[in-house]
Amino acid sequence: MNVEVDGHPVDARPGQTVAGLLLALGRTSWRSTRNGGKPRGVFCGIGVCFDCLVVVNGVPDVRACQRLLAEGDAVRTQHGAELPS
């Protein structure tokens, strides 16, 4: 599958989650906190902690560990609190 990560085309496999892909690419963080600007990535890995939030197709606050990738998905880093585009 073809997807995009922060503007770059990337190959993804069916069944891969956003977090699975990002970690496989060597990323450990893809969100910054809204108060401290601190980097965050996966913490609980099962959809409970909401730390791994990411923007998918313009919609922020998507849990990377829960979201299965689909053909053409555009994933990007979430900076603090964001509004949907």
Partner 1 sequence: MKEVVVVGAGPAGMAAADAAAKAGCRVLLIDSAARLGGQYHRQDSLLDKEKFTPHRNVERLTETTVTALEPVGPGHRLHLRTGPADGPQRTARYVDTAALVLATGAHDRALPFPGWDLPGVYTAGAAQALAKGQRVAVGKRVLLAGTGPFLLPVAASLLDVGARIAGVLEANGAVAGWLRTPSAVFAGRRKTAELAGYLRTLAAHRVPYRARSTVLAAHGRDRVEAVTTARLDHGWRVRRGTERRVEVDAVCAGFGFVPQLELAVSAGCVLADGFVAVNTAQATSVPGVFAAGELTGVGGADLAAAEGTVAGLAAACSLGAPVDVPRRALRRVRAGRVFAEGLGRAYPVRAGWRTWPDDETLVCRCEEVTCRELRESVERRDVLGVRSLKLVSRAGLGMCQGRICGRNVAELAGVPSDGFARRPLAAPIRLGELSDVESPWEGKA
Partner 2 sequence: MRHPDVVVAGAGVVGAACAEALSRAGLRVLVLDRGAPASGTTAAGEGNVLVSDKEPGPELVLARASRRRWPELLAELREELGPAAAEAEWEPKGGLVVATTEETAAPLQGFAKAHRDVGIRAEPITLDEVASREPWLTRKLTAAIHYPEDAQLQPVLAATTLLAAVRARGGEVRPGVRAVGVRRGENGAVQAIRTDRGEFPCAAVVNACGPWAGAFAADCGAPIAVLPRRGLVLVTAPLPPGTVQHKVYDADYVGAVASGDAELQTSTVVESTRAGTVLIGSSRQRAGFDETIRFDVLRELARKAAALFPVLANVPVMRAYGGFRPYTPDHLPVIGEDPRLPGLWHATGHEGAGIGLAAATGQLLAELFTGRESTVDATPFRVGRPAVAEEVRA
Is 34 among the residues that bind partner 2 (CB under 8 A)?
A: yes
Q: Give yes or no for residue 76 binding partner 1 (CB under 8 A).
A: no
Please state, in angstroms and rounded to a whole number, the distance separating the CA atoms of residues 29 and 54. Answer: 10
Q: 80 contacts which partner out of partner 1, partner 2, none, CB within 5 to 8 A by kind?
A: partner 2
46 binds partner 1 (CB under 8 A): yes
Q: What's the Cα-to-Cα distance from 42 to each of 37, 54, 71, 80, 83, rounded to whole Å? A: 16, 11, 22, 16, 21
Q: Interface with partner 2 by CB under 8 A: which residues? A: 34, 59, 61, 80-84
